[in-house]
Chain A
Amino acid sequence: MTTIAEKEPAPKLTAKDFASNQEVKWCPGCGDYSILKQVQTVFPDFGVPKEDIVFISGIGCAARFTYYMDTYGMHSIHGRAAAIASGVKALNPDLSVWIVSGDGDAFSIGGNHFIHLMRKNFDVNYLVFNNQIYGLTKGQYSPTSEKGKVAKSTPYGSVEEPFNPSELALGAKSSFVARSLDRDPKHMQMVLKRANEHKGTSFVEIYQNCPVFNDGTFFAYSEKETKQEQSIYLEHGKPLVFGAGADKGIKLDGTNPVIVHLNENGNSVNDLWIHDEHDKTKAHIIASFFDTHYNGVSFPRPFGVIYSEDRPTCEDGIRLQIEDLIARKGTPSLDKILSGEKTWTIL
């Protein structure tokens, strides 16, 4: 999202300026520390005065984020941050509004608000720290936990399918869908900047390691032994290449993605699928790499901006309708409103 700072240029802030005076109290080794650091690192570059930034969070480990930012903030109730943020943005579109949530907060108790925010497209940023577990309630499976997850409330394994958050967001008409992870600071900074620049609801899923209740759940995508084979980094206008030594790519056969080995059978990087983040059909296919096996082959997990689209924001819709009506009809006096259209007089 973009916020045009119309105020006089102030001295550039530093990451430290965004740290509140509160002690950070996540568990040692929690992925949230990295996310907090990256947010505080990139915010000075946005040029938005601190007083114009509002963080709204719900409940969960991630939701404590609000207390650690020296901006305006509300740590609210479970699942409702999106709805509260909608009210904030509708009333004052000049504020830069950030929602911080977890997988339970966003997709379970807050699922309804999540999908409707995507559809409505208020110009806010929605960061979901996905650790595939309930942390603050001490380790129950979450709506993003894999099927079969053994956790406190599922000692014999969960029997439910997890959400694929990118697909969920696309299905709900999200105008910006991206994914990053706690252990790749540079990538996360890039994605945060893109989210900030996007005008509309920017949904950013951040894979976040929970060292206490779900340690290592994303290591396949973050550790160097497996990272290159298991993940693919998307860049707009660039071919879909992954693998150790960038030796693999993905091309499209009709609507089916196919993994090809470069340097084999005459496969060339020139034949690969070029990522177009504005192509919704392809975005759906990329999002489905998550858990779909095409012809028995599993696909790397995509990171980066999966989809982005420019479309009108909800707060602009509200504002423009009011401005247009006032321009055409004028604002009635309170006396006119009180009297209504039909009156009679008793003499």
Chain B
Amino acid sequence: MESTLEQKLGHETTLVEADSIVIRFSGDSGDGMQLTGSQFTDTAAFLGNDLSTFPEFPAEIRAPIGTTAGVSGFQVNFGSKEIFTPGDEYDVLVAMNAAALKVDIARLKKGGIIITNTAGFDKKNLSLAGYPDGANPLEDGSLDNYTVHKIDVTRFTKECLSASGLGMKEIERSKNMFVLGLLFWMFDEPMDYTINFIKEKFTKKPEIADANIQTLKAGWNYGDNTEIFTTRYKVSPANLPKGVYRNISGNHATAIGLVAAAELSGLPLFLGSYPITPASDVLHELSKYKTSNVKTFQAEDEIAAVCAAIGASYAGGLGVTTTSGPGMALKTEAIGLATILEIPLIIVNVQRGGPSTGLPTKTEQSDLMQAMYGRHGEGPLPVIAACSPSDCFNTVVEAARIAVEHMTPIIVLTDGYIANGTEPWRFPAAADLKHYKVNFVTENNNPGGTFMPYKRDEKLSRPWVKPGTKELMHRIGGLERQNETGNVSYDAKNHETMTRIRAEKIQKIADYIPLVKPDSGKDTGKLVVLAWGSTSGSIKTAVRELIAEGYDVAHVHLRHINPFPKNLGELLSGYDNILIPEMNCGQLLQLIRAKYLLPAIGLSKVQGLPFTTSELKNKILEILK
């Protein structure tokens, strides 16, 4: 938050212009912080701010109330400049109880603002949060470096709704609206969007709608009337490219990307999926698109989910399965089948912290090697990754094209960070998306003889024949195929031939994907940051800041990991240093070193959290020294 303008207002408040603000809404799982954060976000988006969000919640649906295990946070970074990350540190921390403060104080900027609900700091809450007996951070001076607003939100909400006729439970549930109203006042944002949202959400319960709106306004008025708040902040609209925008999360972008891919390819879409955090929202969202003839199938397990998708692709559909790491492990055998069948299949892995159940609600990039090599036998597959919430759309559209044109399963990697995070998206017009034709084979490719299901075209793709096609009946399966005829073959030489053809087919995809170029910086220089996936935003921010400070750095971000773009090795050789930051222990690092024999340096973080800009800048500067 940089103040660029100060202006005295009539009633003794100062309006401070800021180019970006980070707010962290933090409270108990039941305090409605996700809703509060997303309402604030939507309003900021409508006002034209660029933004990025980071919802962070516990794995337990209802963790013990008041404990640090139950803290649910929603972070939003909104600005009048381009925003690529949810922010390293926040300017404002809303802490609804003692546990929330305890968990989230560490990343509040020095001198930042804390808004607390004092009711959440009573003896019981302090004890649940693990503060020693008698200690209270609101009283002991430990927060002296911050601006602390102690507000009894619970009491004000109760007073505000005393005549509403609602029960105490409903009344308490409205307290997040008080805070939201107060923040709208602080940041000079209108309440209309949220008022409409509440009215729509509670059309059947007008008394609840009224209570929420009343509390929201009470929060606003509290800011306006009391003299506690002397400063308000104004974040002007960002200078974003002209166009129509929507706000979108990665999982939603994946879902509509799949709907678009079905339309562009003319194939009926089939999703076989089994609920798993953080991928379930793709299943939920796609299930809403039945009017687009989307068939979604919640299978009995992860294996059935991928197998049903294989069945659908075999029958001539666009078969898709969505999952996260543990589910990927279960699907592995079936992915091997799809690999030898050589049929199109899209496998989306929304990565989370592992191994095993690991950190289900936290993010990580640690399934890259699993995607690359996690199959029995020699079974390379294309692997591509999305780099931001909206980029999930482009990534799955691209994945479908590769799967269909190259007759192969393809693995799409996203992760919990971009799957749940949101950003404004200047969505494309349908007319700007490229349609492509799927060539189902209906004629015998071996006139006079038996149809050859493994006779290939120039891409080394084999023919895709829909069951129901006359005269082309044939059998495929998991046993090794004889080259061209597709009959079962145990011949030693044939197995080697087929193994190499399957690998070459995947390698050939490199001829059909764009060359890679730096995202920021020049194509030679002192240092390049090479990365993939959701680290894009923080790297872009760090590298652009360093370039602005005069450093010779560049950023290259990979969508295609297998095969790599053809010019990657040559591009990387143009830099003195290669830094590869990853939310794993150095997986892309190993791939790059192995393939190009370049002495790349890794920066590894496995805390279930994204990189901060400063972590990246520090590492880059350390290397440049």
Contact = CB atoms under 8 A, between A and B. Distances in A.
B470 A342 contact: no
Given A67-B488, A112-B304, A338-B427, A326 B295 contact: no
Given A75-B476, A80-B303, A325-B290, A90 B308 contact: yes
A334 B312 contact: no
Contacts, number: 206
Nearest to B333: A77
Given A87-B315, A88-B314, A51 B468 contact: yes
Interface stretch (A91-99, A184-192, A203-211): A91-99
Interface string B307-321: 111111111110100
B471 interface: yes
A86 B246 contact: no
Of B260, B289, B334, B473, most buried by chain A (CB within 10 Å of CB) is B473
Interface stretch (B83-91, B227-235, B237-245, B511-519): B237-245
A255 interface: no
A205 to B, nearest CB: 21
Nearest to B477: A75
A91 B256 contact: no
A325 B428 contact: no
Contact of A75 (B289, B312, B478): B478
B260 A337 contact: yes
Interface in B272-317: 272, 289-293, 295, 297, 299-301, 303-305, 307-317
B293 A322 contact: yes
Given A77-B334, A91-B317, A346-B241, A337 B300 contact: no
A284 interface: no
B303 A83 contact: yes
Contacts of A329: 291
Contact of A343 (B246, B311, B478): B246
A156 interface: no
Of B427, B429, B475, most buried by chain A (CB within 10 Å of CB) is B475
Given A66-B477, A74-B476, A87-B307, A94 B430 contact: no
Contacts of B603: none
A20 interface: yes
Interface residues of B, number: 73
Interface in B252-278: 256, 259-260, 263, 268, 270, 272
Contacts of B245: 343-346
B270 to A, nearest CB: 5
Contacts of A20: 475
Contacts of A332: 291-292
B118 interface: no
A318 B244 CA distance: 35
B395 interface: no
A74 B259 contact: no
Given A84-B308, A322-B290, A73 B297 contact: no
A50 interface: yes
B291 A331 contact: yes
A21 interface: yes
B45 A338 contact: no
Contact of A338 (B303, B316, B429, B488): B429
Contact of A112 (B300, B319, B470): B300
Nearest to A340: B246
A334 B290 contact: no
Contact of B244 (A67, A91, A339): A339
Contacts of B475: 20, 22, 55, 66-67, 69, 72-75
A297 interface: no
Contact of A88 (B45, B289, B312): B312
Interface in A294-347: 318, 321-322, 325-326, 329-335, 337-340, 342-347
Contact of A344 (B48, B295, B313, B316): B48
A76 B427 contact: no
Given A75-B475, A84-B314, A334 B259 contact: yes
B469 interface: yes
Nearest to B42: A342
A76 B307 contact: yes
A70 interface: yes
B337 interface: yes
B479 interface: yes
A333 B270 contact: no
A85 interface: yes
A113 interface: yes
Given A87-B319, A344-B244, A335 B303 contact: no
A250 B86 CA distance: 75
A54 interface: yes
A116 interface: yes
Nearest to B428: A338
Contact of A345 (B244, B268, B304): B244
Contacts of A326: 290-291, 293
Contacts of A77: 307, 333-334, 336-337, 478
A339 B428 CA distance: 9
A269 interface: no
A272 interface: no
Given A92-B316, A339-B246, A87 B309 contact: yes
A52 B450 CA distance: 18
A226 B506 CA distance: 60
A20 B46 CA distance: 64
Contact of A86 (B311, B317, B433): B311
A106 interface: no
A72 B473 contact: yes
A112 B299 CA distance: 11
A163 B58 CA distance: 42
Contacts of A342: 42, 246-247
Contacts of B469: 51
B528 interface: no
Interface string A144-156: 0000000000000
Contacts of B240: 346
Nearest to B260: A334
A339 B243 CA distance: 12
A84 B310 CA distance: 6
B467 interface: yes
Nearest to B237: A346
B268 A91 contact: yes
Contacts of A86: 297, 299, 304, 307-308, 311
Contacts of A82: 304
Interface string A25-59: 00000000000000000000000011110111001
B341 interface: yes
A91 B295 contact: yes
Interface in B26-42: 42
Name the 4 nearest CB pairs between A and B, nearest first.
A87-B311, A75-B477, A87-B308, A83-B307
7 contacts: A67-B475, A80-B304, A83-B300, A95-B315, A332-B291, A337-B289, A338-B430
Given A87-B309, A92-B316, 10 more contacts: A72-B473, A75-B475, A80-B334, A87-B314, A88-B315, A90-B270, A330-B291, A342-B247, A343-B246, A346-B245
Interface of A: 20-22, 49-52, 54-56, 59, 66-67, 69-77, 80, 82-92, 94-95, 112-113, 116, 318, 321-322, 325-326, 329-335, 337-340, 342-347
